[in-house]
Chain A
């Protein structure tokens, strides 16, 4: 394991460091600081590790040092990297270890790593484990403890978001639109640090109709619709009168708009029919002047990092994407179908996991994320978001008996019979029904004589 560090080795390490994105100057400097003793691990191994840039230097500093004394950052980096853990756990472990570095000794560090590796091994599932059933039970049981109330205070201003069991059902049913769509919009640059700028954005995206900024009246006297704009609302939302006029002219060909001297707008009806007048009134009042359709309200909040961000009632991911001042890569919506549409199926899978874990956590329930991940995988594996029930996952099964066992038994059997379907008896449910051993656990193992 131990080997003297040659000049070529140094050269190679430096090259690798540059490749990893470290500036040449710093890499050269590190080369000068190599302890001339020996490598405590093989060079190949070292080069293969994914070392965080900031700690590359620390690793090289501990090379060749004897196994005693205080724990250096490099030790943590090196030992964690050497362990047989997945990258995600490694990262978390590193962060935690760095925080308690002064209380560690190298022996303790080794001990901790051993324990973590042990725990990780234990947490793995063995082949042929019935993971689906375990996942179902692991979400079903906490489900019994969840609130049944549809609405719940979300903790941010006065925006209400469906939580608890109703929300879980919504996710699992893969609804096209959640009952309470909402977005969390992160901001970029100075929008994130300046409250006023963030407030301005609020006005920019909140949907504003004519009826929100003025009074719309239909007058049978002169057969026209009168709009009296409220000065205060216009100012607050940064809307100019000309803008409104412009929008109204865009209503259709032959629409006559004129401004009177008392500040009112008059829109004339072409055909002097009463129902035409009413239709025009409705059309005028629901004309979008500013903002994004679907964003009913937006409020500014400060997040945990002290950044200003927006919470919205209503969701329109695609349109929000184009607004200046928004950090789209960190912006999310609770509408999973929308995410699948705009960002793709992998993003949708992620959204399902995040949303479900979020709702469970909000209710104080501790569920292993792997169960939720399995569900998300099952829902998205065909490239589109499918619901769990009879119109999705369960209904799409290949086996007649399995489908019949789930819901609408007679319909399924009849349908299968008219088409002359065959059941291959490959799944679990079918084999339980016909009374054969199932291909799970011990039932899936075939013995051979040695």
Chain B
């Protein structure tokens, strides 16, 4: 997953991690190997690795 990652603002980052954590908490398959059990921590790790299948819609 070494594609060129977009630069997110802190608000975008928070929103993406939040949405992903909700998915994980609801039982979505986790996309990385991790020892974490807290959905938010897992989502953060996924975000840092750039594997979350969510982006933001920009330029309105």
Contact = CB atoms under 8 A, between A and B. Distances in A.
Contact of B56 (A129, A441, A446): A446
Contacts of B14: 442
Interface residues of B, number: 15
Contacts of A447: 15-16, 19, 54-57
Contacts of A445: 11-12, 15, 56-57
Contacts of B10: 126
Contacts of B15: 442, 445, 447
Nearest to A129: B11
Contacts of B55: 447-448, 450
A444 interface: yes
A450 B54 contact: yes
Contacts, number: 38
A126 B14 CA distance: 13
A445 B10 CA distance: 11
Contacts of B18: 442
Nearest to B20: A447
A128 B12 CA distance: 10
Contact of A441 (B11, B19, B53, B54): B11
Interface in A416-447: 441-442, 444-447
A128 B19 contact: no
B11 A448 contact: no
Interface residues of A, number: 13
Contact of B9 (A127, A446, A448): A127
Interface in A119-133: 126-129
A125 B57 CA distance: 20
Nearest to A127: B9
A450 B57 contact: no
Contacts of B52: 450
Nearest to A444: B11
Contacts of A127: 9, 11
A238 B4 CA distance: 79
A449 to B, nearest CB: 6
Given A442-B14, A447-B15, A128 B57 contact: no
A126 B53 CA distance: 23
Interface string B1-32: 00000000111101110110000000000000
A126 B56 contact: no
A443 to B, nearest CB: 8
Instruction: Indicate the member of A127, A442, A445, A450 with the most B CB atoms within 10 Å.
Output: A445
A438 to B, nearest CB: 12
Contact of A449 (B9, B11, B12, B53): B53
A448 B12 contact: no
Interface string A110-152: 0000000000000000111100000000000000000000000
A127 B59 CA distance: 11
A127 B7 CA distance: 12
A112 to B, nearest CB: 26
Contacts of A450: 52-55
Interface string B32-60: 00000000000000000000111111000
Nearest to B19: A447
Interface of B: 9-12, 14-16, 18-19, 52-57
Interface of A: 126-129, 441-442, 444-450
Given A126-B10, A442-B14, A447-B54, 8 more contacts: A127-B11, A445-B12, A445-B57, A446-B57, A447-B16, A447-B19, A447-B57, A448-B54
6 contacts: A127-B9, A127-B11, A128-B9, A442-B11, A444-B11, A447-B16
Closest 7 CB pairs of A and B: A446-B57, A126-B9, A445-B15, A442-B15, A450-B53, A441-B11, A442-B11
